[in-house]
């Protein structure tokens, strides 16, 4: 009756049914959870031949993935028994791609996830659906599905969380804290990168301004421009080279006693000297 209503001849009399036709009919039957209709289509020669060969399903023509999305385990079993590839990808034109287990995890279909795992689904395959991406465990973690996190973690052969001394709920909480810290660090990094770009822009402007202006960087005693170890009086803006500071006891500008208040090193003045001498681009 299903094939009659949809204008398709059943059985071996329709060997040339186009792939898109039977995929669409199958998709419609699965969406309505019509097991008998699915079985009718599985009896078609073309369907029997093509189902085991499909490693990639395009757009909304993947009944296998729809069954996983809806949690229809009986239909999944039918399709798998007829050779459908449990790890085949459903690929979309917008770049999204998922396997059955990605969809089952995304929809929090715990029973279907267990069913797929029992039938050999590979949880390590990487997929993408919306903002969620990664393997099945990543899907569960990003959506905060604790029961599935526990199921998928226990299925990982090299996972040693059962021997780390923590209860599963503690491990889940630590995972969430770690994810939060990662996001916090990413935000800080983004902010620092933005500030660094601004500083680089300011430095470039400062370099231009300094090169185009008259800046007095001479030692106030020997009247030479020191290349390094430029000192400044702490009470005024007078500059001194290191050699002259050792010789004089008072500031040439404000006459303050250097024995009581030693000049400090002026690294900013040293940078300006380097700019003027073309050492800093």
Supply the DSSP string of the chain, one letter for each residue: -HHHHTT---GGG-TT--HHHHHHHHHHHHHTT-HHHHHHHHTSHHHHHHGGG-SEEETT--HHHHHHHHT-HHHHHHHHHTT--TT-EEE-TTS-EE-HHHHHHHTT-HHHHHHHHHTT--TT--EEETTEEESHHHHHHHTT-HHHHHHHHHT-TT--GGGSS--HHHHHHHHHHHHHHHHHHHHHHHHHHHHHHHHHHHHHHHHHHHHTS------TTT----SS-EEE-SSS--EEEHHHHHH-SB-TTT--BTTTS--EE-HHHHHHHHHHTT---
CA nearest to 67, candidates 18, 41, 43, 34: 34
CA nearest to 123, candidates 159, 90, 99: 99
Distance, in Å, from the CA atom of 33 to the CA atom of 35, rounded to the nearest integer, reads: 6
| Average pLDDT score over residue span 68-79 | 93
Least confident piece of the model among 34-48, 103-117, 170-184, 190-204 = 170-184
Q: Say which residues have a Cβ less than 8 Å from residue 53's Cβ, sequence separation at least 6.
A: none
pLDDT at 11 over 60: no
CA nearest to 48, candidates 1, 15, 91: 15
pTM, 2 dp: 0.51
Distance, in Å, from the CA atom of 101 to the CA atom of 69, rounded to the nearest integer, reads: 9
Q: 18 or 238: which carries more pLDDT confidence?
A: 238
Q: CA of 249: how far to CAs of 219, 260, 266, in Å?
A: 15, 10, 19
Residue 251: left if φ>0, alpha if ψ -120 to 50, beta else—which one? beta
Q: What is the pLDDT of residue 266?
A: 82
Q: Would you place residue 280 in the very low, low, confident or very high pLDDT band (cuts 50, 70, 90)?
A: very low
Q: What is the pLDDT of residue 59?
A: 60
Contacts 24+ apart (CB under 8 A), 191-197: none
Query: Would you kindly state where each structural domain of the chain is located, as residue ranges?
Result: 2-159, 166-213, 214-281
Average pLDDT, the chain: 78
Q: CA of 88: how far to CAs of 71, 99, 183, in Å?
A: 17, 6, 32
The CATH class of the 2-159 domain is mainly alpha
pLDDT at 159 over 50: no
* pLDDT tens digits, 39-66: 998 888 877 777 777 777 776 667 888 9
Q: What is the pLDDT of residue 281?
A: 44
Q: Which residue has the tokens 């999204």?
A: 96
* pLDDT tens digits, 226-252: 777 888 888 877 888 878 877 888 888
The CATH class of the 214-281 domain is alpha beta
Q: Would you place residue 102 in the very low, low, confident or very high pLDDT band (cuts 50, 70, 90)?
A: very high
| Average pLDDT score over residue span 113-118 | 94
Q: What is the pLDDT of residue 148?
A: 92
């Amino acid at each position: 009756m299903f094939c009659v209503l949809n204008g398709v001849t059943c059985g071996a009399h329709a060997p040339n049914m186009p792939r898109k036709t039977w995929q669409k009919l199958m998709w419609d039957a699965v969406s309505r959870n019509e097991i008998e209709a699915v079985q009718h289509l599985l009896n078609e020669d073309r369907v029997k031949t093509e189902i085991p060969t499909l490693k990639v399903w395009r757009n909304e023509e993947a009944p296998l993935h729809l069954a996983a999305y809806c949690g229809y385990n009986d239909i999944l079993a039918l399709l798998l028994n007829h050779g459908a590839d449990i790890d085949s990808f459903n690929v979309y034109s917008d770049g999204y791609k998922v396997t059955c287990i990605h969809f089952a995890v995304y929809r929090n279909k715990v029973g279907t996830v267990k069913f797929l795992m029992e039938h050999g689904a590979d949880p390590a395959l990487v997929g993408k659906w919306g903002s969620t991406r990664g393997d099945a465990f990543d899907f569960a973690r990003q959506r905060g599905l604790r029961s599935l996190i526990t199921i998928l973690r226990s299925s990982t052969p090299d996972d040693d969380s059962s021997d780390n001394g923590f209860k599963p709920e503690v491990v889940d909480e630590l995972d969430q804290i770690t994810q939060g810290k990662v996001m916090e660090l990413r935000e800080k990094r983004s902010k620092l990168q933005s500030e660094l770009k601004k500083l680089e822009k300011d430095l470039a402007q400062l370099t231009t301004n300094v090169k185009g202006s008259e800046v007095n960087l001479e030692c106030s005693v020997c009247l030479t421009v020191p290349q390094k170890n430029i000192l400044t009086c702490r009470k005024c803006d007078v500059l001194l080279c290191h050699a002259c500071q050792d010789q004089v006891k008072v500031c040439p500008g404000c006459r303050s006693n250097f024995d009581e208040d030693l000049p400090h090193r002026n690294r900013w003045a040293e940078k300006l000297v380097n700019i003027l001498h073309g050492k800093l681009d």
